[in-house]
Structure 1
Amino acid sequence: MFRQLYFLLIFSILFISVACQSNADETAVSTSGAEMPTISINEAPILITPLSRAEMEQRIPALAERAAQFTAVLASDQPVLLLSADELADAEAQLAQQLAVQSEQFRAEMFHPETGEPLRNEIMNARPTLPADLTDKTQVCQNSRCYRVEMYNYPFDLAVVGIVDVDNQVILDVMRQSNTQPDISARLTELAIQIAINAPEVQAELGLQPDADAATMPNAKTSLNGSRCERSRHLCVAPTFLVDGRALFAIVDLTDERVVGARWTTLGDSGVPQGMLVTERTLQNAYVMENYCEKVNSLSRNGWELDYVLTLSDGLMVSNARYQGKLALNSAKLVDWHVSYSERDGFGYSDAIGCPEFSPASIIAFNAPFTEDILDESGNEIGFTLIQDFLSEGWPRPCYYRYQQRYEFYEDGRFRIVGGNLGRGCGTDASYRPVLRIDIAASGDGQQDSFAEWDGSDWIDWETEQWQLQTEDTPYTNEGYQYRITSPDNVGYFIEPGQGQFSNERGDSAFMYVTRRDPDLDEGESDMITIGACCNQDYQQGPEKFINPAESITDEDLILWYVAHLQNDDTVGSEYCWADMTVENGDLAVQIWPCYFGPMFIPIQ
């Protein structure tokens, strides 16, 4: 408690002193003599687009040097980056560091506890002990020269603190503290500043590239606010730039060595920032809510025009999708993930995906939607994918989830509505049944469509609302089509379900439901609550409730419901719908074996 109060006191004094400097000058941002531009303060949170590692190292040579240093220590029998003699106060501090890293207690934390692989560790501090450092085990330090040595284990977010008696050259006590970060070294403080001032978004917000001495509180860790950075336990700090009574916080992730977000806050009369605590999590949530949940965005490329918005519980919804000006898709969304952990006992979850705030969704959007190019085998661009990730905090640990939506649009008029499970879940026997709702527009306005299935030799029209299960015996056309949806003049789309032909897929085994859209009823057009039980093995997945009684669907406005069946697998060499942690270059890295599903829609020529 004393240490926390001590830090808060120092924190307040530093901020007040900074505020006094800010009041003395027109701005606290220095620019090497450059004229300070007029700044338009952006009240919204700013998410940062990561630069490539090569570009980061070009801007910040210290990053390349640091990478080389870690490569060397990870190849040694002592995988820890030490403080140099220049960084330590005296010879006793150097001795304390050596005694600590050679001790069994410190060495035990330098390697993976199960595999023995070396991990990325760094000594953050080696300083004389203070009275508040001493316990019953270290009372000898009242009469002996003792040092406190702090090591950080990056992969496990672990602080190891040792009290070393340098007079007697013994380790008196070692404390292992999980989910805790020690105070960072002067070396890392300088690195955090360099990362912050070289971020293009930070420069854009300030209107210039600030000098290194413009950053205040560069070693104040966001984790002191009880927050997480990068939605996992990373070592994060917040260099802050003061401008005209405002403070721009730049959240720097020192585990990944990048800026992850920034936000302006207002300084109170004392100079202490008021309002919310700034973390990457709150930055992302506020940014996503304001820009993708509270407003509809539009996208135009590769012959397509469409709108998209994040819903509270139905994931990312695409609407008004037009190909070369003609309406192809009224809307599409993923309304539920049904997760069962026992085919026999029938227990599990019904997961919703959606916005990060004020939402019933249990798996929330943790970043903004983004696009990727679709390339053919020759590397030519043939379309694009609109992607949204959803995550439960704690993934990829057991009983946490990560899902993904992907909307693929091709220059030839094809489109595919895709969902994905990126592991990990609560067991190795999980069955996932995600529910897609697709409001197709085969006739251009979608008001007079008809639906048919292939029986092996001909197309058979469906006259009333119904469902069908894709099985091993399902017939397909030579092209792999199972269904078609057409207008009265036979314009429309063939529908190709997943049979294992797409990347990272083993086949959909999907239920297809076709229902008539009733303009007087809301049968899923607005944000839906969870439909269907989590663990039914049959057709009772939720959409069947809209087929009672079955109505005519000939020349009607049709809604397609597509419910795939995905089974996870943790068998080594055959993983599917799975995620795990592995050691790469001394760090824990997430390895993902995703499983995707979804129908492709091919224009009828």
Structure 2
Amino acid sequence: MLGLAGILVMCGAPAAPQLLPLEPGILAPRVAPPQAAIPEYAAHMTRVQESLKQEVPIVMLNEGLDGAQRTAQDLALHDPRVRAKLRATSGEPLRNEVFDVRPARQSDITDETAACRSGRCLRVEIYHYADNSATVAMVDVDTRTVVAVADLPQMQPDIPKNLEQAAIEIAISAPEVEQALGRKPSAEQATMAEMKTSLNNTRCERSQHLCVAPTFLVGEKALWAIVDLTDGVLVGVQWTNLGASQTPKITEKTIQDSAIMAQLCDQVPSIDRDGWKLSYMLTSSDGLRVADVRFRDQLVLHSAKLVDWHVSYSGKQAFGYSDAVGCPLFSTAAVPAYQPPSISDLRDGKGVIGFAIDQEFRHPGWPQPCSYNYHSRYEFYQDGRFRVVAASWGRGCGNDGTYRPVMRIDLAGDQNHAAAWDDASWKPWSTEQWALQTDTTAYNADGYLFRILDGAGRGYFVAPGHGQYTPPPKNDHAYIYVTRHHPEEGDADMITIGPCCNTNEQQGPEKFIGASPEAIDGAHLVLWYTPQLKNSDTPGQEACWADSRVTASGVYTPKVWACEAGPMFVPVGSGQ
């Protein structure tokens, strides 16, 4: 999910009657196009074949690198921890590729990479096609040291520009795309080509290939061309309805917001009010992160952040996007920030009861179809409560979408005890596990579902959304995971943690539970929260939706029907 330079919308001219009879979910025969039609991909595969003959079998990133980036890449590829991933255990070379080399941000630095606070570190991201995994190396180019190497199974870094162009070539050369559109499209008419995707019951889903989705907008419809970059073929095409829109079309806009970079991506502001002290910053791809959160000088959270947005469409033939949110430049955020977060009072009928930090992330064309607007909000109350919230303001690439934001909440304390309400009492969780909140979930008398205490009996009740808030939905329908803390499982910025379109618990955090869950009683715990938000453009029932309206001044202004979800944490008194 590369930072978008903008969204180019080129709406074609096929009449609606040509589009309506088309059935969704047309799978292609997976035949490779002629090489003459896909020169970028053909050249890329030549480089892949050449790399497999080398001592270090990997396609290096060459274009656009400065001296420091080249040094970092070279040092990373000579590190034995990285080299161990480049060949099979039997010695055969595997297909590997460097996808990105970029300066490390403050949000990338953990205790393990503390040396980077005083050094000049770069982050080298490598994708391993053979097992669909990634390696991230943090390299100090001044000391010529590889500070840390992290192996990330079943994760995909964001693709470089040449692969984005290759995906577009494959899409526009496919007869299925031409047939669906009624004409052969040009490369300029493709948007969203850098966003990774999957299509259920295809190799993208079963074999975990690297797939992306160039998208073509035609009137009130969008044609998705799902491209498998592992095999170099079109997987299939699918139409979605965008819903009627009054939004005027725009041209490409470049995101160049240096103020955001200077104020929030390269610095760590702090807040001290209403009994709370905390720091916050924009990360490269994990949204607005709050850290070192204290209430009345008692540490409450090590950090909290919004790791991913998973957006799926079309029910059983689920397909969609995995979106990252974050800094506008030198990041992997597909949906970037445009301005600093707003800090506002929380009020009830009697006055101020706390404050909220709200950060907006949006595509430059929003609320145009196939543009997204997300919010990350943290609410802090004078009585010690706090809430972590993810909100969608639409509009998206269809009117049948489900949004699943993945929130990571790193709880303070290394002697914590978790328990879930089982309709009669608090049942301790002794090992890592997950639960699904449903319409029939039972809560205690105060509406709480979980309780997390330290050894002294202090801690928090956890109340998922189940009708106590005004914006939809009435129920978060959240997947809630509790895992034992490990620094490599999210202390630094995370790449895409899970596929876009799973409708079960496989949203990403389950990877950190695995087949052998660890003991968590009396441990440092992380709570992952993934609600499910359904969009709608039905008049009177709009949710997670946006459109444009003409003002009295004769200009367009967005009309928003937001949806939001997130747990409230309520303090437990000592001994309760």
Residue by residue, what CA displacement relative to the aligned partner does 1:542-597 show, whole Å, maximum 9, x if unpaired? 00000022010000000000000000011101100000111221322210000010
Distance in 2 between residues matched to 1:325 and 1:342, nearest whole Å:
48
Instruction: For 1:342 and 1:359, locate their aligned partners in 2 and report how far apart those are by CA, in whole Å.
Output: 30
Distance 1:156 1:491, change over 3 A: closer
Contact 1:468 1:511 in 2 (8 A): yes
Please point out which of 505, 523, 538 is paired with 2:504.
Answer: 538
Q: Distance in 1 between matches of 2:536 and 2:468?
A: 19
CA shift, 1:466, in A, is: 0.4
Q: Is the 8 A contact 1:433 1:566 kept in 2?
A: yes
Alignment counterpart, residue 474 of structure 1, candidates 432, 437, 441: 441
Kindly indicate whether the alpha-carbon contact (under 8 Å) linking 2:247 and 2:547 is maintained by their aligned counterparts in 1.
no
Give the TM-score, by structure 2 length. 0.55
Look up the SS of the partner of 1:522 in the other structure: helix
The CA distance in 2 between the partners of 1:587 and 1:528, in whole Å, is 40
SS of equivalent residue, structure 2 residue 520: coil
Cα deviation digits, residues 123-164 of structure 1 (max 9, x gap): xxxxxxxxxxxxxxxxxxxxxxxxxxxxxxxx988xxxxxxx
Which segment drifts farther, 523-532 or 498-507? Answer: 498-507
The answer to whether 1:448 aligns with 2:419 is no
Match of 2:521 among 554, 564, 567: 554
Amino acid at match of 2:570: I
Which deviations, in whole Å up to 9, do the C-alpha atoms of 1:52-92 show, x marking residues without a partner? xxxxxxxxxxxxxxxxxxxxxxxxxxxxxxxxxxxxxxxxx
Q: Hey, what does 1:426 align to over in structure 2?
A: 397
TM-superposed CA distance for 1:227, in Å, is: 8.3
Task: Give the match's secondary structure for 1:288.
Answer: helix
Q: Distance in 1 between matches of 2:247 and 2:443?
A: 50
Match of 1:567 in 2: 534
Q: How far 1:342 sits from its partner (Å)?
A: 1.9
| Contact in 2 for aligned 1:335/1:437 (Cα 8 Å) | yes
Output the amino acid matched with 1:420. Answer: A
Secondary structure at 2:315 match in 1: coil
TM-score normalised by the chain length of structure 1: 0.53
Counterpart Cα distance in 2 of 1:542 and 1:339: 14
The one of 452, 455, 464 aligned to 2:431: 464
The equivalent of 2:277 in structure 1 is 305
Q: d(CA) in 2 for partners of 1:358 and 1:423?
A: 25
Are 2:366 and 1:405 aligned?
no
Opposite residue 370 of structure 1, the aligned amino acid is S
1:604 maps to which residue?
A: 572
Q: 1:489 offset after TM fit, Å?
A: 1.9
* Change beyond 3 A, Cα 1:581–1:547: same
- Within the candidate set 261, 266, 273, 1:289 is matched to 261
Give the 4+ runs in structure 1 shifted more than 4 A: none
1:302 partner letter: D
Equivalent residue number for residue 486 of structure 1: 453
Gapped runs of 5+ residues in structure 1? 1-154, 158-177, 180-225, 232-280
Q: Distance in 2 between matches of 1:453 and 1:227?
A: 49
- SS of 2:316's partner is coil
- CA-to-aligned-CA distance 1:77-110 (integer Å, 9 cap, x gap): xxxxxxxxxxxxxxxxxxxxxxxxxxxxxxxxxx
Q: Is the 8 A contact 2:247 2:368 kept in 1?
A: no
Give distance in 1, aligned partners of 2:310 and 2:376.
15
2:558 to 590, 593, 596: 590
Among 339, 348, 361, the alignment partner of 1:390 is: 361
Residue type of the partner of 1:485?
I
1:51-90 paired onto structure 2 within 5 Å: none
Question: What SS does the aligned partner of 2:317 have?
Answer: coil
Query: Quick check: 2:247–2:548 contact (8 Å CA) kept in 1?
Result: no
Relative contact order (alpha carbons < 8 A, sep ≥ 6): 1 or 2 greater?
2
2:476 to 481, 497, 508: 508
* Equivalent AA in structure 1 for residue 555 of structure 2: D
Q: Percent identity among equivalent residues?
A: 50
Q: Distance in 2 between matches of 1:428 and 1:294?
A: 37
Size of the alignment, in residue pairs? 326
Residue type of the alignment partner of 1:581: S
The amino acid of 2:511's aligned partner reads: K
For the Cα contact (< 8 Å) 1:498–1:505, is it kept in 2?
no
Q: Deviations over 1:166-215 (max 9, x none)?
A: xxxxxxxxxxxx86xxxxxxxxxxxxxxxxxxxxxxxxxxxxxxxxxxxx
Tell me if structure 2 keeps the 8 A contact 1:339–1:433: yes
CA distance in 2, matches of 1:392, 1:587: 20
Indicate if the aligned counterparts of 2:402 and 2:532 stay in contact, CA closer than 8 A: yes
Mapped partners of 1:349, 1:534: distance in 2 = 5
RMSD: 1.8
